[in-house]
Structure 1
Amino acid sequence: MVSTPLVFPKIDPIAISIGPLDVRWYGLMYLLGFMFAMWLGNRMADKAGSGWTRAEVSDLLFYGFLGVILGGRVGYVMFYQLPLFLDNPLYLFKIWEGGMSFHGGLLGVITAMFWFARHTKRHFFTVSDFIAPLIPFGLATGRIGNFLNGELWGRPTDMPWGMIFPSGGLVARHPSQLYEFALEGIALLLILLIYAKRKPPMGAISGAFLITYGCFRFTIEFFREPDSQLGLLSFGMSMGQLLSLPMVIVGALFITWAYRRHSNESKA
């Protein structure tokens, strides 16, 4: 018996209209992710001996948010739309046409963390370990935003939960946005919070974030439809997979460095 595929419900991308201002679901999801990061960051800062203040958390998240937006846009254009950019450099500023890259946003956040660490005279890994657990929930809400927009759907499937998306043709597809919500968002958040409670050495939480996200993203890319303008690239991998592999490698180096440094300090 062939199951009937699910049909994506008709969802207005505009959540609220206030006069001439339209507030979209995608924007609300970003706001929700930012609010959660602020709440969790303040809670972490309030712990005795944290070495952080709420004002510093606010500043860090502000610069991190700028890094996400600027890096995400530049990364999308450079990684996914380079020919279009070379033909028309002004495309970089056409943000209303959409297009954000997680890997570009990550590079933007890393840049912001380097600046913040130098400005506050902290070690880079002190900053990156603090901010790593604040990121996954924002990834989760962002993927819900993608789902509500009916975008970034997955490859064709005959699984019972396959869904027909308005822009995906008359074929059932993996709701890969929800896979990403579950793994890159919720599961990653829980893993980092549990790992952080073990008080690992400096740099290990950052490494765990890179490894876990990279592995999750690499796996989910097998179910996500490759970008139409790129298709599959070297070794049959998508751009998302090619960008995730270095994350796993760098994350492993971070963890190795962290535990070796901790071991050497203990012996000393």
Structure 2
Amino acid sequence: MRYPEIDPVLVHIGPLAVRWYGLMYLLGFLASYVLIRTLARRRGLDLDADAVSDLLFYAVIGVILGGRFGYVLFYNAPYFLHHPLQVFAVWQGGMSFHGGLLGVICAAVLFCRRRKLPILLTGDILTTSATVGLGLGRLGNFINGELWGRVTDVPWGMVFPQAGPMPRHPSQLYEFLLEGVLLFCLLWWLHRRHAPAGVPFFTFFLGYGCFRFLVEFFRQPDEQLGFLWGGATMGQLLSLPMIVFGLVGLIMVLRRNNA
């Protein structure tokens, strides 16, 4: 199959260019706002409209700072050691999901302490809403023709314009389906079943870690890193702590509620 080569610019408004990728982020934040309000009412969490806006503001700051410094530390540390001012050139790209996740956790904990809100229940709601943004972000990667997969001979392999003449896995769509659609459905089901506080939160870590570890077998590793220990990618190595954290957290929460 040939990559559809969608124009990354959705529409030009005078000198401004509205890009699909930016639109995906905007839709992700709007959807997160609606989902947080909906789940907060469903789960009895005291979050009014202003509090949700503040929580999302904290989360955005955490994503930007954590994502950027995570990329600097995990994916290209030698380069940034020699070019330290480039750390702040976020407009040139370079963000790490795992770093962004750590940033959001720190920001959300700070928000909960200031508002005196339960951390686990807030985490349940925040991680569920985050899956929508994750899925839309992967669609944005696909439209941009970036973060493509490894060379393959499967019938649905695609020839990405910037990746050479060989067909590759559309790994962005794999991540959209697994980390976005499927993970959201799982967490939403847990909320509908009134799962104990902390179960959706730790399920997110376990589910995302497993899905990302799996997709990394089809995704082309970062050029500056390649394959690491035992043929693993950086994405897989960073997903392992998520899997352990999610599994241990789930066991602890379920034991506490069954005691």
Q: Select which of 154, 170, 174 maps to 1:175.
A: 170
Structure 1 residue 184: deviation in Å?
0.4
Structure 1 residue 263: deviation in Å?
2.5
- Structure (1 or 2) with the larger CA radius of gyration: 1
Aligned to 1:187: 182
Structure 1 residue 53: deviation in Å?
2.1
Structure 1 residue 102: deviation in Å?
0.7
Amino acid at match of 1:113: A
* Alpha-carbon displacement from aligned partner over 1:40-67 (angstroms, at most 9, x marks no partner): 1122233483433222222111111221
Amino acid at match of 2:119: F
Check whether the contact 2:40–2:125 (CA below 8 A) recurs between aligned residues. Answer: no
Aligned to 2:196: 201
Q: Are 1:74 and 2:63 an aligned pair?
A: no
Structure 1 residue 203: deviation in Å?
1.5
Q: What are the residue-to-residue correspondences of 1:79-118 with 2, within 5 Å?
A: 79-118=74-113
Change (3 A) 1:204 1:241: same
Q: How many residue pairs end up in the alignment?
A: 259
Aligned to 1:218: 213
Aligned to 1:21: 16
Structure 1 segments of 4 or more deviating over 4 A?
none
Q: CA RMSD in A?
A: 1.3
Aligned to 1:57: 52
Aligned to 1:3: none
Alignment partners' CA distance in 2, 1:188 and 1:201: 18
Q: Are 1:119 and 2:103 an aligned pair?
A: no
Check whether the contact 1:76–1:99 (CA below 8 A) recurs between aligned residues. Answer: yes
Aligned to 1:233: 228
Alignment partners' CA distance in 1, 2:115 and 2:257: 23
Amino acid at match of 2:193: R
Structure 1 residue 243: deviation in Å?
0.3
Q: Where does structure 2 lack aligned partners over 5 or more consecutive residues?
A: none
Check whether the contact 1:46–1:53 (CA below 8 A) recurs between aligned residues. Answer: no
Structure 1 residue 8: deviation in Å?
1.4
Q: What TM-score, normalized by structure 2, do the two folds share?
A: 0.96
Aligned to 1:254: 249
Aligned to 1:143: 138
Check whether the contact 1:68–1:109 (CA below 8 A) recurs between aligned residues. Answer: yes
* Alpha-carbon displacement from aligned partner over 1:93-133 (angstroms, at most 9, x marks no partner): 11222111110110110011110111011232122112111
Q: What TM-score, normalized by structure 1, do the two folds share?
A: 0.93
Tell me the percent identity. Answer: 53
Amino acid at match of 2:214: T
Amino acid at match of 1:18: I
Alignment partners' CA distance in 1, 2:44 and 2:157: 49
Check whether the contact 1:46–1:54 (CA below 8 A) recurs between aligned residues. Answer: no
Describe the SS at the equivalent of 1:9: coil
Structure 1 residue 22: deviation in Å?
1.7
Alignment partners' CA distance in 2, 1:127 and 1:94: 32
Describe the SS at the equivalent of 2:12: strand
Describe the SS at the equivalent of 2:188: helix
Describe the SS at the equivalent of 1:17: strand
